[in-house]
Structure 1
Amino acid sequence: MRLFLLFMLPQIFFGQNFEAQVSTKKVGLNDSFEISFTLDDNGRNFSPPPFSDFHVLRGPSKSSSTSIVNGVMSQQLTFTYVLRPKNTGVFTILPASIKSKGNTIGTQPITIQVEKGSVSKKPNTPYDIVARKVHLVAKVNKSKCYVGEPIILTYQLYFNLNIRNISQNSIKYSGFWANDIDVTGDAKKTRYKNEDYNSVVIKQVVLIPQKTGSQTINGLSLDLVASVPTNKRDFFNMMTSESVNYTLNSNNIVVDVLELPSMGKPKDFSGAVGSFSLKTKLDKDSINVNESIIFSVEVSGSGNLNLLTAPSVNFDDALEVFDPKNSDNIKITSRGVSGYKKEEYIVVPRNRGVYSLPIVDFNFFNPKTEKYVVLNANPKTIKVGGARFDNDNDTERFVTKEKIGLISEDIRFIQTNYESASFSKRFAFSIVFYILVFIPFLILFLSILYKKGYLNKYISFGPNLFQLVHKRLVSARKLLENGDYQKFYSELLDILFMYVSTKFSIEKVALGTEKIKEVLIINNIPQDIVMDYLDAIKRLELYRYSAHEENIRMDDLYTGVLDLINKIEKSQ
């Protein structure tokens, strides 16, 4: 026993070594690095430094080990963080502290030098491997534009590792009107920095600058999980990989926004920037007094169409005009904003004669020609003849607005006198009468059948959901046969979301893995089926952005999705 204590004394008095180590002391502003706090003993109440000059990308990751060599036991406890600097300069990381054997001990402070850009280095930690093999690049189709001129911002993800669980962090576009564009999320092979990469458009936005000057668009931040090969094999001789939680940041974009020229600018400038055309239309040019016509004004083209208002129209006081009906059709795609804005006026003349409708004009700035353009529509005339109702008393030719009813975009006079007795005789025992009597009994009969389970709700009230799934699976099979694997994964993933959304009446945009789990459990789907369903979604998300396809058994994915849906159908 005494001999054992003599061996242990050096460990008690000299084994409490608490050190801080960094992967590098010189980093770039866009680089990340690891810092580890290691205690050669067991401890508790670890307190890290504040890291006020750095972003904490990951951590703390805690690891511990125990070993016995020549009868001497040693323990080691390590806390690891991944950091990225906030600014350039020289910064000091203050000591960390921990309590061990009743004493509170601390590390030495460490000085980090931060330079602009990136510092050339190639460490082989999993985190740095991800940093070299996964990139997020932001680019715009125009680096110089006029205020009000739409530009397209694209975020392209390049990767040479298997990635999953991609999550975009929120971003604000100060000084811009912004609207997201739907992206397919399909990956494709491409070249980046003279290397072969997989790439996918992760986000695309239409931006319309609202103020002039040099405008900076901050980078997009992206969280993901990357699988880094370890060059080790497991018990079954399969290659293993390490999952790394990684935060990716795109580059900033600077756009030079020019002010619209003052030379040639109309006094009543509409604010339109792009290329447009103007059209006016009358549905008929000859009517009687108190009849209605529709006068439409349409502005079409491409540019900041979604921010515009239709041209105003000043009608003759002798014409009664109702509030216009808007029927816009605007599309926002990767090509920009295009379509038309249209307003339809219902016009009712109260007197005979020939009326000239006002000339409608519209102006805009064309950034390609750098000139202002003024458009004028062709004038329109209306010939108004005799009244709709003949009456010797001319005063009855004029009716008030209160006696006009708007029916199906047309105006009809409300008849105030009719023979109710005649109507009753025609209605009683007519075909319509018998149909109205029969309908309640039919609804009651169908309700009883449905409640007792004799009617399937999909057959009764819409197309069979299972047939719809089968049709989508046939499309997925064709994609697989054509070797279009990325679209094949996307189609199977969309089928899984569509099935839950349709079957349980949940909006697709509100669906996530947690929501799907909640919905399936609420509807008494067995736990094992729920877990298999969620696992299928996670695997398809992983394969969708997979850099390697040779190890994926496509037929198993196809039949697996079909089996899962069959199991849920049978469990209901």
Structure 2
Amino acid sequence: MRVFLLMLSLLCCLSGLGQAADIQVTAEINPTAFTVDKEATFVIKVNGSSFAQPELPVTDGLRFRSLGQSQQTSWINGQVSATVTFNFAVQAEKPGQYTVKPVKVQVDGKDYTTPSVRCTVSPAQGNSAGGVAAPPSTKANAALLAAEDIGWLRIQLDKDSFYAGQLIPFTIKGYFKPKKRLHIKTVPRLIGENFLLHALDKEPSQQQEQVEGELLTVLTWRGNLSAVKEGTASVAVEIDADLMLPEQRRRSDSPFESAFMDDPFFDDFFGGYTRREIRFASPEKPVTALPLPAKNRPADFKGAVGTFSLAVAASPTNGRPGEPITLKMKITGSGNFDRVQAPELTDRSDWKVYPPADSFAGQGSKGEKTFEQAVVPVNSSLRAVPSLRFSYFDPVAGEYVPLSSEPIPLHLQEAVEPVPQPVQPQQPAQQPTIPNSPGAPKKHQHPLDAAPGQSVQIFRPLYEQRRFQAIIAGAGCCLVAGLLLDLRRKRLENNPGPALRKQAERQLARHCQAMRAAMATGAQEQFRQHCQEAIQHWTGTLWGRTAAAITLTDLQERLPADSPLLAVFARLEESGYAGAVLAQTEMAAMLQTVQQELGKLS
């Protein structure tokens, strides 16, 4: 694998040297106009080389943070074409006209500059507070003041006025200060009963952002918001968290207590932190929910708001009256699918209709809802399944849209009632009898048969039945398996080291595989994350610490000063916080170092 990476790097270098004269450096910002509470993307593209390093853009009034880079190399008719793209998130501190200054880019040892780019920033809609990263006002609820020193929440809405029932993209951002050990216990929830959250991310995305000269950790949740009541109301969210405060154990003066227990390791292992419950809340943002118009509202409208399409199929179409036909109806589009109900037959006479079953496939506000419904024709004169009708409200056009399917042809056969053929029972031969004799059978009585019939065993003991024997055998096997598992559990409790070691080895192998995949695709952020977690998981297992709690300070205290892992971890933190770019050869060397050095630790 290492030889392959070296050959690939050499090939990329040769391609860059062969095309140095055709290097082009461009820059653009998308979109060129945005609000102060939104982010735009500043893109630097280098054509003609795969090795480039831009400086961080600097412009008064604008904040930039690196989003990573992507690389593309193609071979067409023997010609090598290489392109590398650098993406930066940009956000303004206040509205106005801005010009992004030329950025210096070093390509193959030579300096290039990007052209200047202009953008327009307008005030936030419905938010006079300016940028979303500003700290909360000191007029906040007194119960939340303690959270200000740790972080705050902000919400972003694409619109501050929309129809009731309409889904609007909704973003929640949590800004948290560094060097705080925080555990988020809940997903964000709405304050009040005027709105609903739909398809909110269960796990937020995490990134670093520079705010007023301080590097903060930013958690982002995305979902959709809808209003359940008409009128103007305020929307706000809150989350609960636990702040972990370090606490040292009280030392005993008893002469019988071993000094071995004074090791800081036991502070962490035996609960060296105190949990303090804390709640974060975002500022309230006024939002207006418009009522759906009553004019031209279809009778079959059930509350669906968005943009949808309808497709209907039926099977079978060649049965008989009284036999069910399955209607399969698909509604595809974007909107509040929780309010989408099954289309209805425009003519239900001569039909028996059963309740439909539904299923949804999609994500967020986009997807497809499928209904399956059984209908039964009761008249053989029917020639088609009537059209089905579904109506929704289009918030963009501001009007109701009725959808109707085409009638589906039927070929029903006449109902035929099968007449069962009578079965003549065989009469047993009767022996001649003398009329009115005592032995003659009376009328409507069957003569007795003196011949013995086949013997049948009526009762068999339970313990001789195979079914009972199988149940007893299965119960015995379960009992033995339970005893073996209990013995194994007790053995692991007495000596958990081997099990933890195997678990750590599996985690290390998974992280190494993910790092190789990240190197192959040039995903620097994924490589950095898996490499850092590999070191944390391995050392955390050996030292009895939580993996996420392992920091560079912990490694410096416990590892030798000349350990290569210290340099690797420090370089990873520099890449994550300062946006430094890791070269392919550097990532390959880091991977090899992590595999070798972690294996030496015990």
| TM-score when normalising by structure 2 | 0.46
- Which protein is richer in strand relative to its size? 1
| TM-score when normalising by structure 1 | 0.48
